[in-house]
């Protein structure tokens, strides 16, 4: 069913803007979201690639000119600015849909089609993580908020503009990318191909706020050697697990120091630059003292911080802890930096895009959204960085539900965000 602007908001809208909002089909929007969530597009899988072809067809039906291309993975990996990846990948596809016309698009709406693995299926109350079950006005499933809802919103905006019959002075572009969850390969490839825009909105879940900055994130690996022995005579050996403990304590202390002075945009978040251990592997036999431990984790990058300096801080913390330990002093731990590498990113605090989006949200919801920063890495840093595109996040859902078996998104919030961004598009693109 088509959406109708609130009577209170109608006085703030031009005739063209009203036409765009009236053309936004809420039923179609949610049906698209359901189909997206039911596609198990885990990053690096065939389903991720297949979904890009489905979305390309939707772009064409929305009147967009489509650029769908196979990523040259070897060429991208050889680029010195390559952001890194973590998931095995044999193929990937870039996808951009652009309204006809000349010049850089006046607005880019960006989203990623990939989702993280589901974990233990038994933890999902509905049984099937990709069921897209709607219960009590809430849609449940892997990718519901991160970020299939944002993808559905972007498409709904393009469809509304196309169906409304309005003319625009500037063009809309939609960027659909892969591999956001493991480093940003898709965004990197899209920007490297030359796709740009005057400004961009990434529809990641923001809980009603405008996210204008995000911390970065680096993946690290620490290898610690011990000395093997029979478990019954463990004192003849040196457990790699036990000698890792002072290194873990050093990471805890480093995290505390790096979060002592936080940017005001993080509000009351006490840990925007977290350091955590995600996996630990040690030993190969229950009755043997392990002679090797491999720990992998994630390190937050401060706003405006060179990732090289963040890596140096962790390297030095590990080196100092090793120098103070009798065993590690002569058996130095090895620190490497594999996988995804997210720099921080930030939109200029006085950029007009902030007021443009905030104003549209206020018209639709009656509430002016607060500005905030996110403690996680995203494609924002690539769009503001190598892309040189002023960019912010605004999208449906709560990131605290992402990557969890309770992932969900309120249907009403999806519709609300779609209407707000349709209004942003109409105004920014000069609809008449």
pLDDT in tens, the chain (432 residues): 444 444 334 457 999 999 999 999 999 999 999 999 999 999 999 999 999 999 999 999 999 999 999 999 999 999 998 988 888 898 999 999 999 888 899 999 999 999 999 999 999 987 799 999 999 999 999 999 999 999 999 999 999 999 999 999 999 999 999 999 988 999 999 999 999 999 999 999 999 999 999 999 999 999 999 999 999 999 999 999 999 999 999 999 999 999 999 899 999 899 999 999 999 999 999 999 999 999 999 999 999 999 999 999 999 999 999 999 999 999 999 999 997 788 899 999 899 999 999 999 999 999 999 999 999 889 999 999 999 999 999 999 999 999 999 999 999 999 999 999 999 999 999 999
- Quote the pLDDT of residue 11: 52
Helix/strand/coil for 374: strand
Asked whether this chain's domains 7-214+344-428 and 216-342 adopt the same fold, the reply is no
pLDDT of residue 85: 85
Phi/psi for 390 (5° steps) reads -55, 125
411: Cβ–Cβ under 8 A, 6 or more apart, which residues?
A: 30, 134, 137, 138, 139
Residue 286 CB partners (closer than 8 Å, separation 6+): 231
Domain 7-214+344-428 CATH class label: alpha beta
Greatest pairwise CA separation for the chain in angstroms: 83
Q: Where are the domains of the chain?
A: 7-214+344-428, 216-342
Q: Which residues are catalytic?
A: 114, 180
Model-wide pTM > 0.95: no
Q: Containing H/E element for 138? A: strand 138-140
In 94-184, alpha helices (H): 149-164
Confidence at residue 368, expressed as pLDDT on a 0 to 100 scale = 96
CATH of 216-342, one of 1.10.260.40, 3.30.465.10, 3.40.50.720, 3.30.70.360: 3.30.70.360
């Amino acid at each position: 069913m088509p959406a109708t602007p609130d009577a209170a908001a109608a006085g703030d809208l031009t005739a063209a803007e009203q036409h765009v909002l009236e053309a936004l089909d809420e039923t179609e929007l949610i049906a698209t979201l359901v189909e997206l969530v039911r596609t198990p597009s885990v990053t690096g899988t065939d389903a991720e690639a297949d979904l890009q072809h489905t979305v390309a067809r939707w772009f064409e039906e929305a009147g967009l000119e489509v650029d769908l291309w196979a990523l040259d993975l070897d060429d991208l990996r050889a680029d010195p600015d390559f952001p890194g990846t973590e998931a095995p990948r044999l193929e990937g596809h870039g996808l951009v849909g652009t309204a006809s016309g000349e010049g850089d698009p006046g607005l880019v709406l960006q989203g990623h089609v990939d989702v993280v693995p589901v974990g233990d299926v038994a933890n999902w109350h509905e049984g099937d993580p990709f069921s897209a079950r709607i219960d009590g006005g809430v849609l449940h499933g892997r990718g519901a908020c991160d970020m299939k809802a944002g993808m559905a919103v972007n498409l709904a905006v393009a469809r509304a503009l196309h169906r409304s019959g309005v003319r625009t002075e500037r063009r809309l572009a939609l960027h659909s990318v892969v591999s956001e969850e493991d480093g940003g390969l898709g965004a990197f490839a899209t920007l490297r191909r030359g796709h740009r825009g005057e400004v961009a909105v990434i529809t990641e879940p923001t809980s009603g706020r405008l996210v204008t900055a995000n911390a970065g994130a680096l993946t690290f690996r620490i290898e610690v050697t011990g000395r093997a022995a029979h478990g019954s005579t463990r004192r003849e050996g040196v457990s790699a697990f036990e000698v890792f403990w002072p290194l873990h304590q050093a990471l805890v202390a480093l995290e505390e120091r790096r979060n002592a002075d936080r940017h005001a945009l993080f509000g009351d978040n006490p840990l925007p630059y977290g350091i955590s251990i995600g996996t630990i592997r040690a030993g190969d036999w229950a009755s043997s003292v392990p002679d090797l431990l491999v720990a992998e984790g994630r390190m937050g990058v401060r706003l405006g911080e060179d990732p090289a300096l963040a890596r140096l801080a962790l390297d030095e913390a590990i080196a100092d802890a090793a120098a103070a330990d009798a065993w590690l002093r002569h058996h130095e731990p090895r620190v490497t930096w594999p996988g995804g590498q997210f720099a921080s990113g930030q939109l200029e605090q006085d950029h007009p895009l902030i007021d443009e989006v905030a104003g549209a949200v206020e018209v639709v919801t009656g509430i002016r959204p607060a500005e905030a920063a996110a403690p996680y890495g995203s494609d924002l840093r690539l769009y503001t960085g190598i892309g040189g595109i002023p960019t912010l996040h605004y999208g449906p859902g709560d990131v605290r539900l992402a990557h969890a078996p309770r992932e969900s998104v309120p249907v009403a919030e999806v519709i609300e965000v779609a209407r707000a961004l349709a209004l942003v598009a109409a105004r920014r693109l000069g609809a008449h």
